[in-house]
Structure 1
Amino acid sequence: MTHLKRRKFMKYATASSLGIALSNTATFGMSLRSSKNTSIGIIGIDTSHSVAFTKYINGQENGFEVIAAYTTVSKDIPASYERVDKFTQELKESGIQIVDSIKQLLELVDCILLETNDGRLHLEQAEEVFKSGKPVFIDKPVAASLKDAILIYEAAKKYNVVTFSTSGTRFMSQAQKVRNGSIGKVMGADTFSPVKYVPSHSDLFWYGMHGVEHLFTVMQTGCTRVRRTKTGICDTVVGEWDDGRIGTFRGIVDGKGGHGGQAFGTEEIAYLGRWEGYEPLVDAILHYFRTNEVPVEPSETLEIYAFMEAALVSSEQGGVWVTLESVMKEAGN
């Protein structure tokens, strides 16, 4: 994304965030909008994001309304099958129509939030949406493998659909300030987040990507190689950028969790702040639905996932340096 686009986006995001406090006064099931709103459909109800995003969108006057949802369940992922009934019931009680297929959903709505917990399903689900030409935000992880992540963006290009995927950590206010020059040039950064592993996904894709996304938000693209040290209580990845800068991600396996970090600039050192909630991410999604402008380019997202894939290979090979180019080539790009 160009500097100008980032400035335009941040101007929008800052202004839109002023409405967050007001939205908290609205109840979940209360719609404040008219029938002229742009309609949103959700694919995937097995995540708390589906409920949280619906609550925020439908609780304020923003020109959008979540009206329908479709879900599947992954029987080998507890976070999916243990929660899907609860979240489905919450959406039903808020007046959201539950439909039987993605095809039926696409007939009802203008835009899509792809929230399915299981990244293995994202390629097939996203491609069906791309064929319709409707805009779609793909929640994390964009896919369960680097190969599928690449195929998703290739499919979007094939069907001429602009899409994006990101973690909410990208929109933590201090990280956005640093990205936009508040501490001068970023010379390095350290970020942290909890990590959880599921066998069906490349290991950092499932939850560690929150901290890796945070790292790339401030360091931006240009990472060439990584090496990883993984123990029973810590998971650390060191990345080297093409200009000699170093960025590190610390995955918290055991102990107090949280999201944060530090960035080291030519003018200042900045603490990257605490988690501030989903609202800035949802504001970014709605801005994309309005304008077709994305806050993160596919190239940056794919570099994030190549970073995590290279980290996996590094750990499998005893912590050696692994290039991002090598894993991208292996994944077929």
Structure 2
Amino acid sequence: MMDQPYNRRNFIKTAAVAGIGLGFNLSAAPVWVKEKGNRVGIIGLDTSHSTAFTKELNKADAGDTYYGYKVVAAYPQGSTDIESSTKRIPGYTEEVKKHGVKIVDSIKALLKEVDVVLLETNDGRPRLEQAMQVLKAGKPMFIDKPVAASLHDTVAIYDAAKQYKVPVFSTSSLRYMPSVQEAAQGKVGKILGADTYSPATIEKSHPDLFWYGIHGVESLFTLMGTGCKSVTRTQTENTEIVVGIWEDGRVGTFRGTRNGKHDYGGTVYGEKGNMSLGPYGGYNALLSEIVKFFQTGNLPVKPEETLEIYAFMEAADESKRQGGKSVTIQSVMQKSRS
């Protein structure tokens, strides 16, 4: 396909979430065939994920654990105005340099050095512009949370990935919390419902749940799957309660907290009984899935599911704007394409 100027509106107009009847299958993109190369590049050194992934991939005794993938280059610039991010960049830059990582001054320069990309910028606002450079270069990409700072941009990134035939996936590491995976794989039988919780710190430049609530919402969808129909949100100064109704009548809830001990967990309700979720298991399970994705091109999480997760969080924001009224997933998807 010829490389054409990017038009955000045209990308957004064709996207949809599976199961809501909008007729667009993001998983139908042609299968990508991996070219030889295991050089990893990082965009954004303003998150602890960047240093954690680098330390694990580049450790001397990694052996074949990660198929030989190593971080070889990084572009440090992340957020320009979120203090919790900007203050990390100098220290994290020095940290990855200790592991043999070359620091470059642009994404263009990075893409000349690497085969695959970890998009780690903590700030979702520049993600669309950053991702477009990677996609046009044909580099497979993992996008850390949040995919972007709006549902519009999230849809546009996945649509662009389809156009350029480049595999992309995104997830929170909470998807791979051991107990969540056990339940999702059938430990309690068919899942009848679930309640999850996580910190839900708010960043004013992002929709409320995109910044940190995404972790607990990702856990919820790992258990419940796609098919959420409507969302209702109740909010106080320190707590979020978001209730989703699935098309088959199941109910899933997310509780976000902003005070007390920051923890992750919940309860899943199954045909064989109920099960508590937790504790959090760290980054390594996610990192294993990332390198398998780089090695095979197979998507661990379908685009339709990721888009529905972000539509769920956008619907929660819309419910807040409407004083707690129920908001459909379909309505926010349609609005994102207008």
TM-score if structure 1 supplies the norm length? 0.88
Give the counterpart of 1:132 among 128, 132, 137. 137
- Name the CA distance, whole Å, in 1 between partners of 2:100 and 2:270: 48
State how far apart, in whole Å, the 2-side matches of 1:147 and 1:242 are.
24
Amino acid at match of 2:52: A
CA distance in 2, matches of 1:73, 1:124: 12
Residue 176 of structure 2 aligns with which residue? 171
Matched, 1:238 2:243: yes
Give the Cα separation in 2 of the matches to 1:250 and 1:168. Answer: 18
| Residue identity in the other structure for 1:44 | G
> One-letter code of the match for 1:195?
A
- Deviation of 1:37 after TM superposition, in Å, equals 6.7
Q: CA deviation at 1:94?
A: 2.1
- The whole-number CA distance in structure 2 between the counterparts of 1:73 and 1:40 is 17
Who is 2:6 aligned against?
A: none
Across the aligned residues of Structure 1 and Structure 2, the Cα RMSD in angstroms comes to: 1.2
The one-letter amino acid of 2:211's match is W
Q: How many angstroms does 1:71 deviate by?
A: 2.3
| Separation of aligned partners in 1, 2:129 and 2:280 | 31
Deviation at 1:220, TM superposition (A): 0.6
Name the SS of the counterpart of 1:196 in structure 2: coil
Aligned residues: 298
- Alpha-carbon distance, 1:217 to partner: 0.4
Partner of 2:294: 289
Query: Where does residue 91 of structure 1 map in the other structure?
Result: 96
Structure 2 Cα separation of the partners of residues 99 and 270 of structure 1 = 47
Whole-angstrom distance in 1 between the partners of 2:41 and 2:299: 19
Letter in 1 for 2:55: K
For the Cα contact (< 8 Å) 1:112–1:136, is it kept in 2? yes
The CA distance in 1 between the partners of 2:181 and 2:56, in whole Å, is 21
Identify the range of structure 1 (134-143 vs 86-95) with the bigger mean alpha-carbon deviation: 86-95
Check conservation: 1:221, 1:300, Cα contact below 8 A: yes
d(CA) in 1 for partners of 2:115 and 2:79?
Answer: 26
Q: Decide whether the 8 Å contact of 1:37 with 1:65 is kept in 2.
A: no
Structure 1 residues 1-333: aligned runs within 5 Å: 38-59=38-59, 60-61=62-63, 62=66, 63-332=68-337
CA offsets, 1:272-308, max 9 Å, x none?
Answer: 2111100000000000000001111000000000000
TM-fit CA distance, 1:73: 3.6
What is the CA-CA distance between 1:256 and the residue it aligns to? 1.7
Distance 1:159 1:135 in 2: 11
* Partner secondary structure for residue 46 of structure 1: coil
TM score, norm. by length of structure 2: 0.86
Q: What's the secondary structure of 1:213's corresponding residue? A: helix
The 1:37–1:150 alpha-carbon spacing in structure 2 relative to 1, beyond 3 Å, is closer
Q: What is the Cα deviation at residue 258 of structure 1?
A: 0.3
**In structure 2, how many angstroms separate the alpha carbons of the residues matched to 1:126 and 1:282?**
20
Cα deviation, residue 238, structure 1: 0.5
- C-alpha distance after superposition, 1:87-134 (max 9, x if no partner): 011112222100011111111111100001111111111111111111
- Match of 1:247, SS state, is strand
Q: Distance in 2 between matches of 1:104 and 1:76?
A: 24
Distance in 2 of aligned mates of 1:81 and 1:231: 29
Structure 1 gaps, min length 5:
1-35
The amino acid that maps onto 1:289 is: F
Q: Percent identity?
A: 54
Q: Secondary structure at the match of 1:205?
A: helix
Find the residue that maps to 1:308 and give its secondary structure: helix
CA deviation map 1:216-241 (0-9, x unaligned): 00011110001011001211100000
Partner of 2:14: none
